[in-house]
Every structure is written in structure tokens, then in C-alpha cells.
A and B are shown apart, each in its own frame.
Chain A
């Protein structure tokens, strides 16, 4: 690990003010310290934000405001989240381990970096780590990489589970920075790699996430978070599906579908969601939506299996949501 200055901020303004070139905020540290040990991150200054008063979960309009420092565990086990946003709870609990969730923060989860092997290995090229150096994952080891929204510069995925649920729930990210405060709709928070894969999000340098807002609860019954991975726990998603439905009898009134493990950001396809609306909640409808989504998929040399996996996971996820039988967090059999 490199040497760095350490500042402990007492207020958001202080934290923003302490920011400068080469500085990083640190919350749970579970991603940043890991990357620092690999010399992927070499901050000249760490700004410890753990003492900021941002760890509350409180009512906000008809929704809920989750402070950026509320731990993943605190959010998952909050009674209001369990009752009104069980999709979020399940997505969080499908990720990492109990120890990591106890440390990891809401803001840090949004800003965690890709798990691409080359990104982590400073002996190799990587456009995300070193812009312009190339992308060895293309044509290399890319079994875990993206099938949607890739560019010729980067095919990495965003590894978060929580963010997939937040995308489906259409959360809003509240930030504060040198330019003042602003709100970012979740769909605009993360970005596709394009020509600048070094930039994961639309957060400006020095901006700090202060909260994530959830809108009014609409999917307390018909939801699921289905995560498929190489082992049944403590592993990142190969493909995951957050599905949420509002039903009118057997007819789909509203459909939200976000995929994880397949793109540089939580992947949504509004056309497929629209296609479901007004249709009967049947396997046939779900298959049509899944077919539409995967018709845009582009496989790499080793990850073609993700296309069929995604198609099947979407259908199964929608079936689980429609039936009101979300994927169990402890019984790993997929019903």
C-alpha cells in the first residue's frame, strides 16, 4: 500500500473541501483498501467520511431516504426496507458476506469498481486503469464480462447486487460537491464504457454521495432477486435479475426488470418492460420480453453462455415475481 495523508472529516462541507487531485473518500473501505493493496488505487490523501452524520434511514415523502453511510447490513435488516422494498433487501443479502455487509456503505456500494481480472492486475494493460493502454479482456479471459453495452475499449461489468435492485426501484442519488447539491436519477448514475472506460459514473470529482432516495413502495409482493453464480454464496453474479411487477388480476400493470453481471451498469430495457405491460402474466409473455432483451446481446469469446443464462433467468425471475415467491436467500434451489 502506498503512503498517504489522512484526514477525518466532521462535516460534508469539510470532506468536500479536503478533496483535491489524487484524494479519495473512504467509507467501509472494503473496495478501496482492497484496490490499494494491489496498487490499483494509490491515493495521495484519504478522506475518512465515516464520522459524517449520514448513516440514517428516514422517511422521505412517501418513500425512504437511505444515508450514504448506512451499512449494507443496516439497510437490509431495516424493518421498513423489509416490508416495503424487499427487493432491495434480497439483493443486498445476495451479495458479499455478512462481515463485508457490516462494513460496506450504501455510497461505497454504488462506487465499487469492476472485478475484471486485468483491471486488478497492474502487470497487464487495461483502459479502465490506464486509459489508452488497451483491453486485454477482449479476446482474453472474459467469461465474467459484459454482453450488453460494451465498447471496443472496455467490456467490464459493474459487480454490485444492490445497484440492480436500486435500478429496478428507480432510486435517486443525492450528491453534494464543490458546485453544490444535485440529484441524479439512478439510470443516469452509472455509465457505459464508450471511449472513456476510466469513468464508471457521472459523479463529478469531489462530489460526495449523501443519500439514496427510494420512491413510494410499489412492489412489496411481486418481486424477486435471482442471482446465478459459480458458487452458491460469497461470489459475484454471472447473471442476476431484479424483477418487480404490479399486477391487475393476471394482467401485468407495471414491469421493472434490471439485470446484473451483464453490463457496465445495471441493465434495463424499457421496451421489454413496455412489452409486458397489459399482457397476461404468463410464461409466454415473459419469454417474449426475454427474447427482446437478449436479441441485443453481443458475446465475447468466453461468455456466450451468459446469453442463454440471462434469457432463462429473466423468464424464471418474472415467474417468481408474478407468483409472489421470491428466490429464497438460504435455500439455494431455484424453484
Chain B
């Protein structure tokens, strides 16, 4: 449903939106104050995406919207009507082995390099890593560190996370 030129939707009316989530097209009715994060976790049972701070300060909720990494806690689902969303559950379906059920190279690299401890930040780190590689601006180790600074890891797995990303960028962990 296109809302342009239409009277405002009042607070009690859910709004119809279409999202393509991990390759699957979904028609959804959402209240306008539903964040994308809450929609994914509470309504769609896609609980891989984590809620750390709910205020843009930790990166645990990072997902890809049309291939670009954003904090799903600071965006409303209605604002993303028509978008393609990829969560950690959908990473395996990206790239050259789509449909094969194999892990995404970055997921393999995280395992290979022991890039997590408790794992709470990991879904956000993984989506952020894919976003970073899509962007293509980070090349050196320092640049990767800086470009990943929006993802906090309370366990301090940073060094291994950067190792994993570097590895995939150099064509490893495949």
C-alpha cells in the first residue's frame, strides 16, 4: 500500500507494509511505533538479531537493509516498507553459495578465528562485517577496526573479529 497523498493513519490503525526478509516476501500489519528490531524478534521469531542497548550504542541489532548495515533498534518498521532485510539467519543464503544451506564465509571465518565468546554481539558483528565488505571503504587493519567500531563486544573478541574479516577480505575461510 502506498501512503503518499493519503490521509494520515490514526494511532489505532495498523499499517500494511511489505518487507522481503531473508529472501522471503512478507505482507505485514504493524503499529507505526514498532521498531524493525521488535518486529523481527517479537513478531517474526527471528531472534538471532539481538537487543543490547535499544539506543544505537552497541550494534547488537545490526541488520542489512537493502544491503546496507543499520541499527534496527533505531528505525521504525513502517519506514522500511518495500525494503529487503537480511538478518543473521539469512546470511547463509547470501553470496555464491545461496540456497546451499552452507554458512556464509564470514560465519566460517568467525568460527575459524574464535571471534566470539558469549556470542551475544555476534549476529550484529556478522551483519556489520558483511555491510563493511559491501561498502568497500575499509582496506587496512586500522580501517577495519574503525569501521567496526559501531559493534561493541563485551567479551573483547575484537582482535579475532578483525582477523576473521581480514581473512575473508583476502579471500580466505572459504
Question: Is B33's CB under 8 angstroms from A329's CB?
Answer: no
- When C-beta atoms are compared, the residue in chain B nearest to A4 turns out to be B11
**Shortest distance in angstroms between A34's beta carbon and chain B's nearest beta carbon?**
5
A8: chain B residues within 8 A (beta carbon): 3-4, 6, 78
Q: A5-B10, A99-B62 are in contact. Are A233 and B35 (CB under 8 A)?
A: no
Question: Is B56's CB under 8 angstroms from A34's CB?
Answer: yes
Q: State A331–B142 Cα separation when bound (angstroms).
A: 6
B8 proximal to A (CB < 8 A): yes
The number of chain A residues with a CB under 8 A from chain B is: 39
A199 proximal to B (CB < 8 A): no
**Shortest distance in angstroms between B169's beta carbon and chain A's nearest beta carbon?**
15
- Stretch in contact with the other chain, from B21-29, B63-71, B99-107: B63-71
B140 proximal to A (CB < 8 A): yes
Question: Is B146's CB under 8 angstroms from A4's CB?
Answer: no
A73: chain B residues within 8 A (beta carbon): 135
B149 proximal to A (CB < 8 A): yes
B143 proximal to A (CB < 8 A): yes
Question: Is A37's CB under 8 angstroms from B54's CB?
Answer: yes
Question: Is A33's CB under 8 angstroms from B5's CB?
Answer: no
Most buried by B among A18, A33, A45, A100: A33
B32 proximal to A (CB < 8 A): yes
B: which residues have CB within 8 A of A?
Answer: 3-6, 8-12, 15, 32-33, 35, 54-56, 59, 62, 68-71, 73-76, 78-79, 128, 131-132, 135, 137, 140, 142-143, 145-152
A: which residues have CB within 8 A of B?
Answer: 1-10, 14, 18, 26, 28-30, 33-34, 36-37, 45-46, 48, 50-51, 73, 77, 96-100, 102-103, 233-234, 329-331
Question: Is B8's CB under 8 angstroms from A5's CB?
Answer: yes
Question: Is B79's CB under 8 angstroms from A98's CB?
Answer: no
A6: chain B residues within 8 A (beta carbon): 8-9, 15, 32, 78
Most buried by A among B68, B70, B148: B70
Partner of A234, one of B3, B6, B74, B149: B149
Question: Is A7's CB under 8 angstroms from B8's CB?
Answer: yes
Question: Is A14's CB under 8 angstroms from B131's CB?
Answer: no
Q: State A14–B56 Cα separation when bound (angstroms).
A: 30
